[in-house]
Amino acid sequence: MKKRHLILIFSFICLVFTPMIVVSWYLYAIADDQFSSRVGFSVRSEEVSSPGELLGSITGISTGGSKDSDVLFEYIQSQQLVEQINAKINLKKLYSKPDYDPVFSFNPDGSIEDLLRYWKRMVKIHYDASTGLIELRVNAFTSQDAQLIAQEVFDASSQMINEFSEIARDDSTYYANKELFNALNQLKESRQALTFFRTTTQIVDPTADVQGQMGLLTTLQGQQAETLIELDLLKEVTKEGDPRIAQAQRKVEVIQNRIEQERKKFGLSEHDGENTFASLVGQYEALVVDREFAEQTYLAARALYEASLAKALRQSRYLAAYVKPTLAETAEYPKRVLLSFTAAFLLAMMWSILVLISYSIKDRR
């Protein structure tokens, strides 16, 4: 053997064999076991038809919310979720249990950014955009911790989807609620105006008073006709200057004056006033029309609001778990054999490249 052969053997021992022994010793003697918990879920939107739609469609059709799944995929990898779960179950403490393992355990003094990077190492997420299915593999140093973290991720994701549903429900009913509020105010104003009219005029229903006044006017006109007939008869059978004729004429004048006064109340005379029954009835009917229109508008707005609310409740979204958080019985990680062979392969490749470089330099000389 030549000197260069000895150098190659020594370099192989130093760069490949010794590091390989150290890596294997660390993996089998120092690195703690890691247990995995798996959970799978998807966002579902349940659209249930109303009773009036039962004859024309199939009810209970469940569809997936792909857009919500996209948001959920990013949310699981976000710092917000890590902070929320850390505040609830103390992730730093759970992931720093093997304090003698500086490679696979988390430094409890690390920042939230460090915890987020470590989270992405321990929580692997698989998302199928075509079906909207999300599957998580959560690693921890005990099977109970892994299941607990997986359950917390599912609960936080479910809470976020519920918040999305609530926001969508509020958006869908916002304008209907606004229209209902405006219609209610319009109805209140129309009723207040009608109440103010009745208070100022001291008349509950002018139409009823008009009927009574019309009856009185009809009676006066009948009495006037009878008195005129009596006057004509007196003129035929008596002489001029008979006091009965003067009395009858006076009675006719009184009835005529009374009829004129009653007609003034209806606005039928030449001197109509603002407070005649005709103007009061016109004001009253206008107020009644406004009130009835406000009532119909309120009923329509209320029906629209109820329909919008019912539709929003029927189109609710929820998180459906097709695989609940599992409890592992055996440790799957770290993959000691795979890591050992991977380390050996990389060390051997690095040593081979260095040898080739050294021989290339030597040949150039």
**222 and 303 both lie in a single domain:** yes
Q: How far apart are CA 121 and CA 141, in angstroms?
A: 13
Q: Quick check: is 66 in a domain?
A: no
Q: Which domain range does residue 241 map to? A: 177-307
CA distance 283 to 275: 10
CA distance 308 to 251: 71
Joined tokens for residue 268: 């039928």
- Whether 230 and 296 map to the same domain: the answer is yes
At residue 39, the pLDDT reads: 92
Q: What is the pLDDT of residue 265?
A: 60
Q: What's the structural domain count of the chain?
A: 2
**How far is the C-alpha of 316 from the C-alpha of 44, rounded, in Å?**
8
343-to-89, 105, 331, 333, 346 alpha-carbon distances in Å = 35, 19, 21, 16, 5
pLDDT of residue 271: 45
Q: Prior bond to 334 cis, omega within 30?
A: yes
Domain presence at residue 283? yes
Cβ proximity of 140 and 92 under 8 Å: no
**193 belongs to a structural domain:** yes
pTM above 0.85, yes or no: no
- Whether 277 is covered by a domain: the verdict is yes
| Domain-located, residue 36 | no
In a domain, 71, yes or no: no
The domain boundary, picked from 268, 292, 307, lies at 307
In a domain, 354, yes or no: yes
Separation of alpha carbons 6 and 4, rounded Å: 5
Q: Which residue has the tokens 């003697």?
A: 29
Inter-residue contact 83 to 359 (CB < 8 Å): no
Residue 290 and residue 342 in one domain? no
Query: Whole-angstrom Cα distance, residue 75 to residue 160?
Result: 9
Whether 287 and 363 share a structural domain: no
Q: In the prediction, which pLDDT does 180 show?
A: 86
What does each of the 365 residues of the chain score in pLDDT, given as a tens digit?
Answer: 677 778 878 888 888 888 888 888 888 888 888 899 999 988 887 654 444 343 334 333 344 445 778 888 889 989 999 999 999 998 888 888 877 778 888 888 889 999 999 999 899 999 888 888 899 999 998 999 999 999 999 999 988 888 877 777 777 777 888 888 888 898 898 888 888 877 887 766 666 565 656 666 677 777 778 777 777 777 777 767 677 777 777 877 887 777 777 666 655 444 444 456 667 777 777 888 888 898 899 898 888 888 877 776 665 677 888 889 999 888 888 888 888 888 889 988 998 888 888 878 877 76
Q: What is the pLDDT of residue 275?
A: 52
Closest CA to 210 of 273, 274, 284: 284
**Does residue 297 sit in the same domain as residue 354?**
no
138 within domain boundaries: no
Q: Do 354 and 276 fall into the same domain?
A: no
